[in-house]
């Protein structure tokens, strides 16, 4: 289930998780997701950040960052803010993906997290970094 809200000239996507409590709507029996105020606020902040135009420096080149829908969902699920994503891209250790010249794993240990390493899977496309997914508990091979 996905809702779109228009606020301050930005489209914001609120993604409801499958683990939320369900409420049946009287006789219609339409499942509605109920989020606590705090869950809704934290989800809003992450999604709001994602919709903003973001750039990052990767391998000494400035790129526009494009985050796929899949990566956005994983960021919310794994509580990874856009600011942390950019920090990982700009300061993390880089490992090339086999058989793909323009694809990389970028990873780092994040202080205060128990699910390290945090990893970003990205692809370079002309002037953009396309974020495919973000991972936690990642182990380089």
Look up the pTM and report it. Answer: 0.65
Whether 45 and 58 share a structural domain:
no
Query: Is residue 23 in a domain?
Result: yes
Of 16, 32, 49, the residue that ends a domain is: 49
Inside any domain, residue 119: yes
In the predicted structure, residue 94 carries a pLDDT above the cut 60? yes
Interacting residues of 32 by C-beta distance below 8 A, sequence separation 6+: 22, 23, 25
User: Is the domain of 39 the same as that of 89?
Assistant: no
pLDDT band at 35 (very low <50, low <70, confident <90, very high): very low
Asked if residue 19 belongs to a domain, the reply is yes
Asked if residue 140 belongs to a domain, the reply is no
- What is the CA 138 to chain-centroid distance, rounded? 16
pLDDT tens-digit series, residues 55-85: 999 999 999 999 999 999 999 999 999 999 9
What's the number of domains the chain is made of? 2
- Report if residue 141 sits inside a domain: no
Residue with tokens 């994602």: 50
Range of the domain at 86: 53-135
74 and 18: one domain?
Answer: no
123 and 89 both lie in a single domain = yes
Instruction: Using alpha carbons, select from 54, 51, 68 the residue that is nearest to residue 13.
Output: 51
For residue 9, the 8-state DSSP code is T
Residues 77, 128, single domain; the answer is: yes
């Amino acid at each position: 289930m996905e809702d779109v809200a228009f606020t301050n000239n930005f489209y914001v996507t609120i993604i409801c998780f499958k683990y939320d409590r369900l409420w049946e709507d009287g006789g219609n029996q339409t499942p509605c997701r109920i989020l606590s105020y705090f869950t809704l606020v934290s989800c809003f902040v992450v999604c709001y950040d994602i919709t903003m135009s973001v750039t990052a420096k990767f391998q000494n080149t400035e790129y526009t960052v494009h985050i796929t829908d899949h990566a956005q969902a994983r960021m919310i699920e794994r509580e990874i803010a856009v600011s942390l994503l950019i920090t990982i891209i700009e300061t993390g250790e880089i490992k090339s993906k086999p058989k793909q010249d323009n694809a990389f794993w970028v990873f780092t240990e994040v202080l205060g997290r128990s699910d390290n390493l945090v990893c970003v899977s990205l692809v370079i496309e002309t002037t953009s970094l396309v974020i495919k997914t973000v991972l936690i508990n990642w182990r380089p091979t």
